[in-house]
Amino acid sequence: ERFKAGKSGPSARRPDNSAFKQQRLPAWSPMLTANTVLPFFYFMALSCMLLGVWLLLTVQSTQELKLDYTKAGSCDECFEIHNSASCRLFQGDVFFYYGLQNFHQNLRRYMDSRDDGQMVGRTTNLKNPSTYCEPFIKDQKGLPIAPCGAVANSVFNDSFTLSYHGGSSGPAVPVPLLRQGITWYTDKNIKYRNPKDGNMTLAQVFQGTAQPRYWQKPAYELDPRDPANNGFINDDLIVWMREAAFPNFKKLYGVLYRAKKPFIKGLPAGNYSVDVSYNFPVQHFRGRKQVVLTTVTWFGGQNHFLPIAYLITSCLTLLVAVVLTVAWCKFGKNGRNMEE
Amino acid sequence: MPLNLFEQFQRIANAYFLFLLVLQVIPQISSLSWFTTVVPLVLVLTVTAAKDATDDIVSKRVFFLCGKWMNVQVGDIIKLENNQFVTADLMLLSSSEPLNLVYIETAELDGETNLKVRQALTVTGDLGEDVEKLADFNGEVRCEPPNNRLDRFMGTLTYAGQKYPLDNEKVLLRGCTLRNTQWCFGLVLFGGPETKLMQNCGKTTFKRTSIDRLMNVLVLCIFGFLAFMCTVLAIGNCFWELNEGSNFTAFLPRQDGNEATFSAFLAFWSYVIILNTVVPISLYVSVEIIRLGNSFYIDWDGKMYHAANDTPAEARTTTLNEELGQIQYVFSDKTGTLTQNIMTFNKCSVNGKSYGEVTDSCELHHNKLIVDFSFNSLADPRFVFHDHSLVEAVKLENPEVHAFFRLLALCHTVMAEEKREGELFYLAQSPDEGALVTAARNFGFVFRSRTPDSVSIVEMGRQRSYELLAILDFNNVRKRMSVIVRSPEGKLSLYCKGADTIIYERLHRSCSKLMDEFAGEGLRTLALAYKDLDEEYFNGWKRRHHEVSTSLDGREGKLDELYEEIEKDLLLLGATAVEDKLQDGVPQTIELLSKAHIKIWVLTGDKQETAENIGYSCNLLREEMNEVFVVSGNSPEDVRQELRSEVSPIGKCFPSHPIHFFVLIAYALERGSELAFLRLACLCKAVICCRVTPLQKAQVVELVKKHKQAVTLAIGDGANDVSMIKAAHIGVGISGQEGMQAVLSSDYSFAQFRFLQRLLLVHGRWSYLRMCKFLRYFFYKNFTFTFVHFWYAFFCGFSAQTVYDEWFITLYNLVYTALPVLGMSLFDQDVNDAWSFQHPQLYVPGQLNLYFSKKAFFKCALHSCYSSLVLFFIPYAAVHDTVRDDGKDVADYQSFALLTQTCLLFAVTIQLGFEMSYWTAVNTFFVLGSLAMYFAVTFTMYSDGMFLTLPSAFPFIGTGRNSLNQPNIWLTILLTSILCVLPVVTYRFLFIQLCPTINDKVQVRQAKATPPPPPRRTRIRRTSSRRSGYAFSHAQGYGDLVTSGRFLRRPALPRSSGFSHAGRTTTSFSPMGRSAGYSPTGRPQNAKVSDVEVTSLQMYKTIRDPAL
């Protein structure tokens, strides 16, 4: 019996007459009527159109130069390639990327093969990396690898020097690139930290660990001149450790330093050369490597997809709106379709 | 608790998730962290365990109720008192009444309302009330094994070396109620499940809804589909490993040098884990919660609360709600379900003049109109009549009117009991007869007492005694009864009352045949006639009568001939109209339900005439149903023959005359003719099955369930309905009455038949709509969620990499999308209740399974497929080659995961907005709250603190801050939302314009108009065609009982003149036990209730009311 305490008398079991229990809660019942749907569609079409055009104009103002240098690996020392496709000033901040194609940073086992605990500087993890790092936990001698895992092991190790050859004459001027500040703030300052142990130097802390198998130098020697860019907080390492979502990706290598002439306004038109120290092997997995120079806007890099997608959506919406208007005029306007 | 866990894992769904958990423990396969499965599983198990616990408590309560009956054992001797239920099959030993008679009401068993007599053996009757003697009673009963025949019993009693036969007349069956008998003793023959009633109860089966069954099929299909997807991806993995992976081993060496095929095998299981969300773990638990919520609405519904007996509706089963929206057949009991079991004297026609009108309850001013009977101190204060002219006629001593009431006071088999001077109790064997005698009493012709050869009445204050010379008893063939009396003045008369058609045939030629006006109103008409007899003729007749009564062979036929001979050339006095009072709103309910394409079959154990009559008065049968088919064969062969011959004419004329009704007598259910019966019954507009036993009721239901694949509902109030209540998909019990068996085995219970319309058309429809919307949306959101993984597989080397953050996978179903969809499934209503009643056609889509079917499911899957394509490829194209506005990374895995999951959440939330047609504040709060929750949880999970606490569990640190401040991320989210919504809106809008459903139409109307006024309770007028039947609940044999004198148990009080008594008198009318709760003048709590219509009715009540 569902008698309620404090209730008695002949109507003790009468249900409460509350709006909730009687399902009479005040409510808004929206309906798809011509008055709401059709204006909405036209409005959508128009706003998508405007947005698309605006984005397109924005994207058009960015400049991008891509250079595939995969084949350069066939030459032993270094390789020069001439490309005169673009002859305009790269205005504003210019970003220098390296790109990889067909490199699967997004394989599950590859992605899992890292130890964030080690990279955040936990000394226990440094000497005793997580089993996720399999099969790059320990080297042949049984020393723990730091940084462990497949991701860190396969870090991209080509290096680039960009040179400006002026208008026509003169010696090549190396284009100054900022090689720091190319990571997310959170990565640089929170996610990656060097292990600390009293006053010991980084090399001492790393004592008893091995460098990753494919590395030429240990982690504490990545940038010996700058402690803020050494060890786990080396910018190149951090950029690499932020795994790409897709097999074709590009990663930031450096930003144009615009303090000195002639780079104050950006990269002036002219001849440039890139010296590549070619270390990273891609041929065996049919990968491609490229360097990318690009400028950005508030909308990011050069990305034509969204503007075009908005324009297409706008057209589609408009088309649908017209069809719906016709359908409504023919059937629904006089309300005859609502009769029984 | 461990036991509960074990039981839960027996459920296939939970076992599946346990299996997934095991898979995740294997490191080579584990594609998700353990918590993604553990957290939902623990939650689901907890909720289910809590629900099971409450269910256990409920079932224990029921168990306790049964406890008392369970202690009764075979061989016990039980004492029963008046108005008690018989709880086991008993052999009657002794009783308080003379000749060891007891009176019982069997309405619970067979729906008949008349009293029946049982008589104990003389040997046992002598034991009397002496407990010691009874305890020493040492006899042996041999009888048939337990069976379900209610009308037959065979056995012998061996007592003191002597054998006595036992038959049905000496047995009280469980389910009867003792009436008009102070006490009796009985020996338990069968107890508990062996009783005939329980043998008739049918099996209790676990009921599941059709949605449940469909869901199981779909889940199996989904499993198949899951296996298919995983196979495709595993094959993809195999190829990828062969072509690409083998070249990539430098960066990612294969474990233990595994081959590509083995890797594919592992990928298969990994994808089983990732894609498991197509079979959502929370589906079953959410469905249960929704059903529970919708059940509570039924419990809470103030419009299904019956104030007169303080009974709210109750959803006793919480798992069947949506099936209430799909009912195609309603099987209803008659007595106590459609009718109140109250007879009222409504109208009469005397000498061609009609008195008493049926008042419309809307325009009732009863205080002014009620006839004042204060001139008559013996009147029953609760008798109500609205036509003053009749009283005037009585007071003016109109001879015809006086003769009319004199007949009513004389010609009956009612017994009067006068415990105190002036306090009359009438014991009538049928309620209609009681109503007539009480009417006569109030109009000044008070029947006071009878002896075997006299009847004492008070005629307008004068005490008169009539000599009772003969009672020509009622039987089913004669459909009339007569008495022959000699008045105090010495005049010899025959008074006859009976079915009008029968009486008309026997009228004197001079008599005009008047009066046929009430017949059309569903009232039981009875014609009254008399004739004065010639002394000489009567003496001759009397002699022959005596001879015939004592002859041995062919007595009955000869008696009938004799009766026939004297009952002719009658003079018509008038006619009476008695209303078998229906429950409130029954005709309107039936009309509404039939407009909703629900077929209503009445199954009753009662007689054909009674059932047919009720059929007319409750609007189930209408005058235009002119072709009546009655299948009434007495043997299986007859029935088969009849069915064969009936089907063909109906079949032929079916297109032109689609209106029939069909009355079936029980034998048609014999094996072999079921299908013919069903075929015939389904051709008819209305079906009434009479004389069916409880088990046959269940058979009819099973038959329809099995061969029509229809969803059935059975509604009843008595123990005889238990079997069909159990057999039907939905069983409904009428509660608030004495008997509880029907309610205890029912799924839903409420106090009035008319609440059925609200249960079905409002609660049922909403529940079905909500459940279907829920399932459609639930499958949509999970499929969309899962398919995105499928597309991503083509980009991540089929390596079982997830698209989303693991925490998002864990919380998506539990936190981010759970409450909005639950809110929708608990609050949604397309049109409100008033409009649902206004347009009963809204119910039809449920019967046709339109809202959720395999087709709808397939559409859902296609829609999900589209959405997932948009949700994966738009973000992919938008970010794969771009960077942030400061040149840094945005195409990384973590940003992409965040982007996709945000797009997904927006898309499914907006989709929910389109599904929802009733936005209450709660819904809005849930929807917006869940979105807010998503961002709050996401930013928490991606915060520095969480990462520093557990770096490996929260690797997404900073992703929120770094991605969600990018304009192109938000532009991508906007674009995916637009593209997901666009086709949905277009499709729906086009459909509304081109071929709107009934829901759309009513919604538009609801938006435009104010709610319609509640449907007026108009009395449904019928064209007049005559139906009548005398004493519908009357049985033969009472005449003999009356004249034999066995009936008289107390000496009549010494009598003074009737009008000299001080104080009011009361009639308490015992026979109709079950109607007591409904009589507005009955129990004290009923007295103040104003919403019960009081019309010009005489209400009877059963339980002796100490207050009066």
What pLDDT, in 10s, does the model give residues B561-582?
Answer: 888 888 888 888 888 888 777 8
Tell which residue, B582, B581, B599, B584, has the closest CA to residue B755.
Answer: B584
Tell which residue, B611, B637, B604, has the closest CA to residue B107.
Answer: B604
- By Cβ distance, the residue of A244, A296, A305 closest to B878 is A305
Q: Report the pLDDT averaged over residues A20-48.
A: 91
Q: What is the mean pLDDT of chain B?
A: 79
Instruction: Give tens-digit pLDDT for B726-744.
Output: 889 999 998 876 567 788 7
Contacts of B974 (CB under 8 A, 6+ apart): none
The reported pLDDT for the residue numbered B665 is: 56
CB contact under 8 A, B982 and A316: yes
Whether the CB of A327 is below 8 Å from some CB of chain B: the reply is yes
Q: What is the mean pLDDT of chain A?
A: 86
Residue of A236, A284, A306, A329 to mutate when probing chain B, most B C-beta within 10 A: A306
- By Cβ distance, the residue of A242, A301, A309 closest to B882 is A301
Q: What residues of B are designated binding site for ATP?
A: 333-335, 433, 474, 497, 524, 604-606, 691, 697, 720-721
What Å distances lie between residue B409 and A235, B164, B494, B685, B853, CA to CA? Answer: 113, 41, 13, 41, 64
- Please report the residues numbered 3 through 62 in chain A whose beta carbons come closer than 8 angstroms to any beta carbon of chain B: 10-17, 21-23, 25-34, 37, 40-41, 44, 48, 51, 55
Tell which residue, B339, B308, B357, has the closest CA to residue B581.
Answer: B339
Tell which residue, B684, B914, B3, B588, has the closest CA to residue A40.
Answer: B914
CB contact under 8 A, B1007 and A25: no
CB A126 within 8 A of CB A118: yes
SS3 content of chain A, % helix, strand, coil (to 5): 35, 15, 50
Shortest CA gap A202–chain B (Å): 21
Q: Name every chain B residue with its beta carbon within 8 A of the beta carbon of A284.
A: 247, 250
- By Cβ distance, the residue of B881, B882, B889 closest to A239 is B889
Comparing B513-522, B684-693, B987-996, the range with the smallest average pLDDT is B513-522
Q: Which residue has the tokens 């496709």?
A: A85
Higher pLDDT, A52 or B462: A52
Pairing mode, if any, of strands B115-119 and B183-190? unpaired
Q: How far apart are CA B340 and CA B734, in angstroms?
A: 11
Q: How far apart are CA A266 and CA A269, in angstroms?
A: 9
Burial B84-101 (b: 16+ CB within 10 A, else e): bbbbbbbbbbbbbbebbb
- By Cβ distance, the residue of B795, B801, B887 closest to A252 is B887
Higher pLDDT, B719 or B1022: B719
Comparing B48-62, B452-466, B601-615, the range with the smallest average pLDDT is B48-62
Tell which residue, B854, B848, B596, has the closest CA to residue B711.
Answer: B848
CB contact under 8 A, B888 and A117: no
Q: Report the pLDDT averaged over residues B628-635.
A: 62
Q: What residues of B are designated binding site for Mg(2+)?
A: 333, 335, 717, 721
CB contact under 8 A, A313 and B978: yes
- Please report the residues numbered 716 through 775 in chain B whose beta carbons come closer than 8 angstroms to any beta carbon of chain A: 766
Q: How far apart are CA B762 and CA B230, in angstroms?
A: 43
Q: Where are the beta strands (DSSP E) in B151-307?
A: 155-159, 162-166, 171-172, 177-179, 183-190
The reported pLDDT for the residue numbered B1077 is: 28
Pairing mode, if any, of strands B339-350 and B571-582? antiparallel
Q: Report the pLDDT averaged over residues B813-826.
A: 91
Residue of B949, B978, B1091 to mutate when probing chain A, most A C-beta within 10 A: B978
Whether residue B1075 is predicted with pLDDT greater than 50 in this model: the reply is no
CB contact under 8 A, B967 and A298: yes
Comparing B145-149, B151-155, B261-265, B658-662, the range with the smallest average pLDDT is B658-662
CB B430 within 8 A of CB B113: yes
CB contact under 8 A, B1003 and A317: no
Q: With left for phi above 0 and alpha for psi between -120 and 50, is residue A270 left, alpha or beta?
A: left
CB contact under 8 A, B989 and A37: yes
Q: Where are the beta strands (DSSP E) in chain A?
A: 27-28, 64-68, 90-91, 94-101, 159-164, 173-174, 177-178, 249-256, 266-267, 272-277, 288-295
ipTM of the complex: 0.94
The reported pLDDT for the residue numbered B680 is: 74
Closest A-chain CA to B971: A306
Q: Look up residue A25 and give its two tokens.
A: 């809660």
- By Cβ distance, the residue of B795, B888, B975 closest to A106 is B795
User: Averaging pLDDT over each range in A118-132, B46-60, B424-438, B516-530, which range is the top one?
Assistant: A118-132
Cα B887 from chain centroid (whole Å): 70
Residue B973 identity: I
CB contact under 8 A, A31 and B1007: yes
- The contacts found for A24-28 with CB under 8 angstroms, 24 or more apart, are A25/B827, A25/B920, A25/B921, A25/B922, A26/B920, A26/B921, A27/B827, A27/B918, A27/B919, A27/B920, A27/B923, A28/B918, A28/B919
Nearest 10 degrees: CA dihedral of B954, B958, B963, B964?
A: 90
Which sign does the torsion angle of CA B897, B898, B903, B906 carry?
positive
Q: How far apart are CA A129 and CA A116, in angstroms?
A: 9
Instruction: Give tens-digit pLDDT for B856-890.
Output: 999 999 999 999 999 999 999 999 888 888 888 88
Pairing mode, if any, of strands B712-716 and B329-332? parallel
CB contact under 8 A, B250 and A17: no
Contacts of A178 (CB under 8 A, 6+ apart): A254, A255, A256, A257
Q: Report the pLDDT averaged over residues B545-559.
A: 80
Whether the CB of B961 is below 8 Å from some CB of chain A: the reply is yes
- Please report the residues numbered 107 through 136 in chain A whose beta carbons come closer than 8 angstroms to any beta carbon of chain B: 107-111, 113, 115-117, 119-120, 122, 130-132, 134-135
Q: Which of B333, B387, B500, B584 is catalytic?
A: B333
- By Cβ distance, the residue of A150, A323, A327 closest to B251 is A150
Q: How far apart are CA A224 and CA A233, in angstroms?
A: 12
Whether residue A99 is predicted with pLDDT greater than 90 in this model: the reply is yes
Which sign does the torsion angle of CA B611, B614, B620, B623 carry?
positive
Q: How far apart are CA A236 and CA A244, in angstroms?
A: 14
Q: What residues of B are designated binding site?
A: 333-335, 433, 474, 497, 524, 604-606, 691, 697, 717, 720-721
- Please report the residues numbered 264 through 323 in chain A whose beta carbons come closer than 8 angstroms to any beta carbon of chain B: 281, 284-286, 294, 296-303, 305-306, 309-310, 313, 316-317, 320, 323
- SS3 state of residue B219: helix
CB B1081 within 8 A of CB B1099: yes
Shortest CA gap B64–chain A (Å): 13
Residue B116 identity: K
Whether the CB of B993 is below 8 Å from some CB of chain A: the reply is yes
- Please report the residues numbered 60 through 119 in chain B whose beta carbons come closer than 8 angstroms to any beta carbon of chain A: none
Q: Which residues pair with B732 in a beta bridge?
A: B715, B748
Closest B-chain CA to A332: B993
Cα B1077 from chain centroid (whole Å): 18
Q: Report the pLDDT averaged over residues A167-196.
A: 86
User: Averaging pLDDT over each range in A83-92, B585-594, B1043-1052, which range is the top one?
Assistant: B585-594
Contacts of B1072 (CB under 8 A, 6+ apart): B105, B113, B341, B342, B431, B1100, B1101, B1102
The reported pLDDT for the residue numbered A185 is: 92
- Please report the residues numbered 253 through 282 in chain B whose beta carbons come closer than 8 angstroms to any beta carbon of chain A: 253, 255, 270
What is the number of CB-based contacts under 8 A between chain A and chain B?
292
Whether residue B382 is predicted with pLDDT greater than 80 in this model: the reply is no
- Please report the residues numbered 57 through 76 in chain A whose beta carbons come closer than 8 angstroms to any beta carbon of chain B: none
Could you write out the DSSP letters of every residue in A176-239?
A: PEE-SS-S-HHIIIII------TT--HHHHTTT-B--TT-SS-GGGSSTT-GGGSGGG-HHHHH
User: Averaging pLDDT over each range in A77-81, B46-50, B275-279, B918-922, which range is the top one?
Assistant: B918-922
Comparing A322-326, B259-263, B423-427, B453-457, the range with the smallest average pLDDT is B423-427
Prediction pTM value: 0.83
Tell which residue, B274, B278, B224, has the closest CA to residue B782.
Answer: B278
Look up B584 and say whether it is catalytic.
no
Residue A241 identity: M
CB B736 within 8 A of CB B746: no
Whether residue B429 is predicted with pLDDT greater than 80 in this model: the reply is no
Whether the CB of B928 is below 8 Å from some CB of chain A: the reply is no
Q: How far apart are CA B299 and CA B316, in angstroms?
A: 9
SS3 content of chain B, % helix, strand, coil (to 5): 50, 15, 35
Shortest CA gap A93–chain B (Å): 9
Burial of B510 (C-beta count, 10 Å sphere; 0-12/13-18/19+): exposed
Whether residue B1064 is predicted with pLDDT greater than 80 in this model: the reply is no
Q: How far apart are CA A23 and CA B1094, in angstroms?
A: 31
Shortest CA gap A52–chain B (Å): 10
Pairing mode, if any, of strands B712-716 and B730-734? parallel
Whether residue B1087 is predicted with pLDDT greater than 50 in this model: the reply is no
- SS3 state of residue B374: coil
CB contact under 8 A, B880 and A51: no
Closest B-chain CA to A214: B251
Q: How far apart are CA B955 and CA B942, in angstroms?
A: 8
Whether the CB of B25 is below 8 Å from some CB of chain A: the reply is no
Instruction: Give tens-digit pLDDT for B638-686.
Output: 666 666 666 555 444 333 334 455 555 555 555 566 777 777 777 777 7
Q: Report the pLDDT averaged over residues B686-693.
A: 80
Instruction: Give tens-digit pLDDT for B72-105.
Output: 788 888 888 888 888 888 888 888 877 788 888 8
Which sign does the torsion angle of CA B912, B917, B923, B925 carry?
positive
CB contact under 8 A, B248 and A104: yes
Q: Look up residue B673 and give its two tokens.
A: 């003719």
Higher pLDDT, A270 or B856: B856
